[in-house]
Amino acid sequence: MKKSVPNLYSEIIPGSEAAGFSIGESFSDISKRVGTVDWYGPEVSMRNILLGNSGWVGVKRNIGFGNESLLSYRYMNQVVSLFFEKKEKLYRIALGEGYHGNFDGVGIGENLKILESNFEIIFNDADDDFLIKRNGSILTGISFVTDYRASLEDVPQQVIKFISIHDWSLR
């Protein structure tokens, strides 16, 4: 079976889609598209595997104190990561260095403050990421991780390292 290559230039749509994948897709449907991969469990350090990876790998991590697990597919060195939990629905797409698509004209490797032209930027100190607000409402389904993971008051110039597209209700 031919493995699917993510579209590294597709537009980022909050809470909906990126890289040719849609939030809410089933694990089985995405598995068919991704093809056969090597899977790595919680006992394996992933850093070197991801650094040397030129395609997809599967990662299984335990969460909580029960038998629940987090399954993810990672493309190359986390250029695209797809996350699934107990509902086996794609609930999060994480985009990293090497992804060329953008949201509102802003992409990975750019200054976070570019978003200020259309949004209010809010630091979420619970998760060390940034949310955006427009017309008094937080735009759901998207967050930004920077090189500093600190408020803009503390570090005014920050570069976007990851963009997360998600729907937490699908976990």
Label each residue of 75-94 as H, E or C. Answer: ECCCCEEEEECCCCEEEEEE
Say whether 160 sits in a helix, a strand or coil.
strand
CA–CA dist 88, 49 (Å, integer): 24
In this structure, are residues 164 and 92 in contact, taking their beta carbons and an 8 Å threshold? yes
- Flag whether the pTM goes above 0.85: yes
Domain-wise residue ranges, the chain:
17-100, 112-166
Residue 111: pLDDT band by 50, 70, 90 thresholds?
A: very high
The 10s digit of each residue's pLDDT in 57-67 is 999 998 877 67
- The H-or-E segment that residue 162 falls in is strand 160-166
Residue 105: pLDDT band by 50, 70, 90 thresholds?
A: very high
Name the pairing type of β-strands 56-62 and 39-40: parallel
Residue 2: pLDDT band by 50, 70, 90 thresholds?
A: low
